[in-house]
């Protein structure tokens, strides 16, 4: 054995041994490479995870909780002409869940219901059991709700900071400013207009950054707006009406200084904003404007050159055309001059004025004054006026005193402004505008002389002792002029003498009119037994109250001790 063990290797055996040793070394090298590569892969994975954790740990919790929200787009502030805020963004918390992390959906819902009693249980349960990565549970929580939910300690529940629109004035200018939806997108009023002017595109591209958005300045004076709404709410209650509205318009620039329509809504809690009775009647409501339209009939006759202030019209007998008989409400039973037709609000006289101009001329004039077309302004809620498909003589006659065509109260005020400012029709605006800018977009629609004659008639109609219907609109020191309008409403296909739509169209100060004020009262009741329910008893006093309270704020100084009235014999 010793011999065997001690025997030297042969030449062949030595070579085999060398080969085996080389193979072993090669195998060991490959093994070490695999180990190193495996370690490198795992190191890379864990390094990536660690880096991500460090990154997330350094982020602001507000922007790192939950997925990126698509609903936090900023909006510019909306301010009145004096810089008072009408709408602004505020931060609010919204509740979300990660269903994959919810341990017990029933328990989570039970706990959330103690803070959110209006939570839809069935819908919420389906969301929590959906197995998705993210679902909204409740948008725009109050700070108290957020704090109470946090104390519940529910796994898989979190909060996302969003932007919510806040309206400091509440209902004061709700129809003008409008609304945004839950995603902070404008859906009505000037909020929608702002989106349509490019804000929506900026938001979609991520460029709507709060610090870069300049406030949008409106023509509205919040002080006057508050007065207007206050008077409308009082009138609604006092006259037991179904609705009331008013507008204050600058006749030289077309700026809307104030406009209201009640019932309205609270934009901070707009649960009833879509109700039918919350309609903005001033721009989106269509009405037969009654005798206020006689302003345009008389202006049309005078502007035609076929009628002068000295012309007369036979109002001794009613006019019968087909099955229609046209009568005066308080007829004088005699021949009337043009001023008398106006101040006595003669239907017969107005019909004869229209007859002088003719059917085609009549329609062309109303179209020229913008009363038959959809009004162009920033407010999206604007109705299209209605008129007969084919005008016949009977239509021209009834439209001459305000029946048979429907337009919006705001358009009526805009048309009246043209009668007061020298004959220029200026499109209304809810944004600030200079007089020079207004003149650039104005259209001359009547002769300056016609405007002077209409100012005289407005002043005459509101002068005490003249017999005009506008005396109750007078405000001492401010020389108010105007025209009443009492229109019978259609009930069951017929005009009803007991259901009325009343309006008063006014201007002041009458020596150089600066503002037009129009008030409307829908279906007013008699204030007291024996007291009429016509426009002179309700719409006219509303105008007086608005002017009395707001004139000084509008920069109109009262002038006492001067006779501001007019008489039938005083026109030059």
Q: CA-to-CA distance for 446 and 423, rounded, in angstroms?
A: 5
- The full DSSP string for 431-450 is B---HHHHHHH-EE-S-HHH
The dihedral through the CA atoms of 159, 164, 167, 170 has a sign that is: negative
CA distances from 537 to 162, 471, 489, 521, 524 (A): 50, 10, 18, 11, 10
- 485's enclosing H/E stretch is strand 481-491
Q: Token pair 């929590």 is at which residue? A: 128
- 93's enclosing H/E stretch is strand 85-97
Length of the chain: 572
Q: What does residue 507 show for φ and ψ, rounded to 5 degrees?
A: -140, 150
Tokens of 321: 């055309």
Q: Active site includes 451?
A: no
Q: CA-to-CA distance for 324 and 304, rounded, in angstroms?
A: 27
- 503's enclosing H/E stretch is strand 494-508
Tokens of 272: 């009833």
* HSE value, Cβ hemisphere, 13 Å, CA-based, for 308: 3
Q: Which of 521, 532, 528 is nearest to 231 (CA)?
A: 521
CA distances from 81 to 86, 225, 253 (A): 10, 11, 14
CA distances from 181 to 80, 184, 197 (A): 22, 5, 17
Burial bucket for residue 138 (CB in 10 Å: 0-12, 13-18, 19+): buried
Q: How many degrees, rounded to 5, is the angle at CA 287 between CA 283 and CA 290? A: 125
Q: CA-to-CA distance for 89 and 210, rounded, in angstroms?
A: 9
Burial bucket for residue 266 (CB in 10 Å: 0-12, 13-18, 19+): middle
Tokens of 508: 């002041």
CB atoms closer than 10 angstroms to residue 280:
24
Catalytic residue among 261, 283, 291, 469: 291
Residue 329 DSSP label: T
Active site residues: 291
């Amino acid at each position: 054995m010793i011999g065997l063990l001690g025997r030297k290797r042969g030449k062949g055996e030595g070579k085999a041994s060398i080969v085996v040793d080389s193979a072993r070394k090669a195998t060991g090298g490959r093994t070490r490479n695999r180990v190193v590569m495996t370690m490198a892969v795992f190191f890379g994975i864990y390094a990536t995870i660690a880096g991500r954790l460090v990154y997330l740990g350094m982020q602001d919790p507000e922007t790192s909780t939950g997925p990126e929200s698509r609903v936090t787009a900023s909006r510019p502030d909306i301010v009145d002409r004096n810089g008072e805020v009408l709408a602004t963004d505020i931060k609010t918390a919204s509740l979300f869940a990660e269903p994959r992390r919810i341990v017990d959906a029933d328990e989570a819902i039970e706990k959330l219901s103690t803070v959110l009693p209006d939570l839809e249980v069935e819908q919420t349960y389906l969301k929590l059991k959906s197995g998705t990565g993210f679902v909204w549970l409740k948008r725009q929580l109050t700070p108290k709700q957020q704090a109470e939910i946090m104390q519940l300690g529910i796994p898989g529940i979190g909060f996302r900071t969003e932007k919510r629109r806040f309206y400091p004035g509440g209902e004061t200018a709700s129809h003008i400013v409008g609304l945004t939806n839950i995603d902070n997108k404008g859906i009505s009023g000037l909020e929608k207009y702002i989106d349509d002017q490019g804000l929506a595109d900026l938001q979609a591209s991520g460029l709507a950054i709060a610090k870069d958005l300049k406030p949008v300045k409106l023509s509205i004076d919040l002080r006057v707006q508050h007065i207007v709404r206050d008077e409308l709410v009082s009138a609604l209650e006092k006259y037991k009406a179904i609705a009331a509205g008013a507008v204050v318009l600058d006749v030289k620039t077309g700026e809307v200084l104030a406009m209201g329509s009640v019932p309205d809504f609270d934009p901070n809690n707009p649960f009833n904003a879509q109700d039918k009775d919350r309609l903005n009647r001033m721009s989106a409501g269509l009405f037969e404007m009654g005798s206020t339209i006689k302003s345009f009939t008389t202006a049309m006759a005078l502007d035609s050159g076929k009628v002068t202030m000295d012309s007369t019209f036979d109002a001794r007998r009613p006019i019968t055309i087909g099955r229609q008989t046209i009568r005066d409400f308080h007829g004088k039973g005699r021949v009337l001059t043009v001023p008398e037709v106006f101040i006595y609000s003669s239907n017969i006289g107005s019909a004869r004025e229209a007859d002088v101009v003719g059917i085609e001329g009549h329609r062309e004039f109303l179209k020229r004054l913008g009363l038959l077309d959809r009004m162009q302004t920033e407010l999206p809620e604007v109705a299209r006026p209605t008129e007969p498909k084919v005008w016949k003589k009977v239509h021209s006659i009834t439209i001459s005193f305000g029946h048979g065509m429907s337009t919006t109260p705001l358009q009526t005020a805009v048309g009246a402004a043209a009668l007061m400012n020298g004959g220029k029709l200026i499109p209304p605006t809810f944004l600030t505008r200079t007089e020079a800018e207004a003149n650039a977009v104005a259209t001359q629609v009547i002769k300056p002389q016609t405007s002077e004659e209409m100012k005289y008639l407005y002043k005459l109609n509101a002068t005490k002792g003249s017999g005009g219907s506008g005396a109750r609109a007078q405000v001492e020191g401010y020389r108010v002029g105007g025209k009443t309008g009492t229109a019978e409403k259609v009930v069951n296909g017929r005009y009803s003498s007991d259901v009325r739509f009343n309006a008063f169209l006014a201007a002041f100060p009458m020596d150089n009119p600066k503002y037009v004020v129009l008030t409307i009262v829908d279906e007013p009741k008699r204030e007291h037994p024996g007291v009429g329910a016509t426009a002179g008893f309700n719409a006219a006093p509303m105008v007086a109250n608005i002017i009395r309270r707001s004139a000084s704020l509008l920069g109109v100084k009262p002038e006492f001790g001067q006779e501001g009235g007019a008489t039938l014999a005083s026109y030059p």
